[in-house]
Amino acid sequence: MKILKHPKIDQDIIFNLDCYYHLVIENQLFYRQLVYGLKNQIENDDEYFLFYENEKEESLSKKGIVLDNLFDIKIDDKKATSSIQKELTSGLDSSKKEQFSLLNKQINEYLQSLTYDYNLSLEYDDEISLASLLKLSNVRLRKEEDTYLLSLLAQVKAISFLQKTTIFFFINLHDFLSDDEFIKFIISLRALEIDFLLISSHFPINKPTDEFIIRIDNDLCELHLEANNKKD
């Protein structure tokens, strides 16, 4: 079980399948401090939230990411491409290795036929590595641009898989998705086994049934609106 604790928030934030948590902070100063403190914790490993996994305190910076601009999610394309190509080259089974060996043979035969009648004597590398082929072919992450929802999901999935990120902190997520898109997005996060916390500066227009809201008003009074399906 994964749990987040904050000294100024009474309710523990528990990552589970029964419900997800939405932290609504209407006090602007505390909202600013919390988002800044969380970002600084993720980026610099400075203490802000306390994070426990299986009752053992862990570093949140190694597991989490804050997405505070859902119109401009930053993914390092060069690092992503390098990671993808490395994963592909290290995950070959015997069948794929045999296929690549045959491909190398065919390429070699083609190069022989291509260079045989040339006026000058030529030489070439008679075996191409898979890493070289992937780099030459520029195998990379495809951009999903059909809809905003698909694009957002693709970026979250890529960050989770490539950066080994297990906890996402979404800032004002409700503002970016329609009710139908929001439900589909949450279902997709669950299917990907991604843990997440929503953080907002204002109360959502509609509250989904599986959303547990921790509401901190202007006077820093903490109110709880439990998920309708939350188990005792």
Q: Do 219 and 175 share a structural domain? A: yes
Residue 230: inside a domain, yes or no?
Answer: no
Residue 231: inside a domain, yes or no?
Answer: no
Using DSSP bridges, classify how beta strands 222-225 and 211-216 pair: parallel, antiparallel or unpaired: antiparallel
Collect all residues with Cβ–Cβ distance below 8 Å to 15 and sequence separation of at least 6: 1, 2, 3, 4, 167, 195, 196, 197
Q: Do 66 and 90 share a structural domain? A: no
Domain boundary among 91, 111, 136: 136
Percentage of the chain modeled with pLDDT above 90: 69
State the total domains in the chain: 2
pLDDT digits 0-9 by tens, 52-91 = 999 999 999 989 999 999 998 888 788 888 888 888 888 7
pLDDT digits 0-9 by tens, 86-134 = 888 887 899 999 999 999 999 999 999 999 889 999 888 888 889 999 9
Q: Do 161 and 213 share a structural domain? A: yes
Q: Do 179 and 95 share a structural domain? A: no
User: Is the predicted pLDDT of residue 229 greater than 80, yes or no?
Assistant: no
Mean pLDDT of 207-217: 94
Q: Which domain holds residue 128?
A: 77-136
Domain boundary among 136, 154, 183: 136
CATH of the domain at 48: 3.40.50.11940
Q: Do 164 and 98 share a structural domain? A: no
Tell me the residue length of the chain. Answer: 232
Mean predicted lDDT score pLDDT of the chain: 91
Domain boundary among 136, 151, 178: 136
Helix-, strand-, coil-residue percentages of the chain, each rounded to 5 = 40, 20, 40
